[in-house]
A = this chain, B = another copy of it.
Amino acid sequence: MIVILKQNPDANQLNRLISWLREKGIDVHETIGASQTILGLIGDTHHLDMDLITALDIVDDVRRVQEPYKNANRKFHPRDTVIKVGDTQIGGGNLTLIAGPCSVESEEQICAIAESVKKSGATMLRGGAFKPRTSPYSFQGLRGEGLRLLSMAKKLTGLPIVTEIMDISQLPLFDDVDVIQVGARNMQNFELLKALGQTHKPILLKRGSSCTYEELLMSAEYIMAGGNEQVILCERGIRTFENYTRNTLDVAAVPVLKQLSHLPVIIDPSHATGKSALVDSLSCAAVAAGADGLIIEVHNDPAHAMCDGPQSIRPEAFDALAKRLRIISDAVSAK
């Protein structure tokens, strides 16, 4: 951590600051220039509250040098984390394909889609039971009943299931769920993250639509600090000035997050733009960029899906896409 002092700092205050830092086991190196003095803080600064120092009268600015996350940091854990879910593995060179409808609608629907995407090579089944909708007047999901139908599809196909939780109180219903998804809007619902840190299930953590890489990794850190190290990071489009698409897919998130962290990184090309016609191109781009997998909305009747129909693709399209993805994955993993 670097502390940039204001010009002519009060000597007493400066001494108090340096003593306080040394008491906390931090080494302080002073660099005194003609117009500026800089303090270099060396040691474990994770637990140091930057804001406290910034607030001091003699301080102009404070900059972190080390990342504020530890458990999620590749520097302290150089090897890729690989997460086992049923017979499949996420991370470590595997290509994970999670597919299924936006919302679970009925037994026939979820079972038919599950069988179809399995045949095309999907390794997990997705489907929303609890649905975060902007309007209180929109369909809110089948909730508990949706989870029951997902279990039936899992039993039928053997595909592990991924579905979203929206509140701590729903946790008891998630016993048969294999991977619990935290939606973009809940990425900084810290009480929920803490509760999930106490579970033993893998967590698929979606990046908030205007959260930085560092904030995403800090939210992963919340879960991991509780003892649950099985976190899958998911980029699903960020909010920008461009609104021809619902969000803007930040494909650079893949190589950046994999550099900063050892956790697996997947992409949601469906929510990234909200347009089904773009899902194919963006899926190819994500795998070419090195993503560990994709979570794609597939619906047998997108025009009558209960929500998010415009971003779902048909099973036939998914089948053709999955084949192309294997070729791209081989091309980039050969490097």
Mask, A49-62, CB within 8 Å of B = 1, is 10110111100010
Tell me the bound Cα distance from A327 to B136 in angstroms. 41
Interface bits A168-179 vs B (CB < 8 Å: 1, else 0): 110000000000
A248 to B221, CA, bound (A): 24
CA–CA, A214 and B242, complex, Å: 10
Residue-wise, chain A 127-154 has the 8 Å CB interface mask toward B (1 for contact) of 0000011111111000000000000000
Interface segment, one of A37-45, A84-92, A117-125: A37-45
Report the minimum CB–CB distance from A245 to chain B (whole Å). Answer: 6
Cα–Cα, bound, A241→B289 (Å): 21
Per the bound structure, the CA–CA distance linking A284 and B281 in Å amounts to 12
Closest beta carbon of chain B to A139's beta carbon, Å: 7
A225 partner, pick from B57, B136, B213, beta carbons under 8 A: B136
**Provided the pairs A43-B33, A56-B303, A255-B281 are in contact, do residues A241 and B244 lie with their beta carbons within 8 angstroms?**
no
- In angstroms, Cα B159 to Cα A172, docked, is 40
Which interface residue of A210, A251, A285 has the most chain B CB atoms within 10 A? A285
> What per-residue 1/0 map shows which CB atoms of A270-289 lie under 8 Å from chain B?
00110001101110111111
Residues in B whose Cβ lies below 8 Å from that of A264 = none
6 A-B pairs whose Cβ atoms sit less than 8 Å apart in the complex: A27-B33, A29-B29, A134-B218, A255-B277, A320-B335, A328-B332
Residues of A in contact with B (beta carbons under 8 Å apart): 2, 4, 27, 29, 31-36, 38, 40, 42-43, 46-47, 49, 51-52, 54-57, 61, 63, 65-66, 68, 132-139, 166-169, 185-186, 188-192, 194, 209-210, 212-215, 218, 221-222, 225, 238-245, 248-252, 254-256, 259, 272-273, 277-278, 280-282, 284-290, 302-310, 312, 320, 324, 327-328, 331-332, 334-335
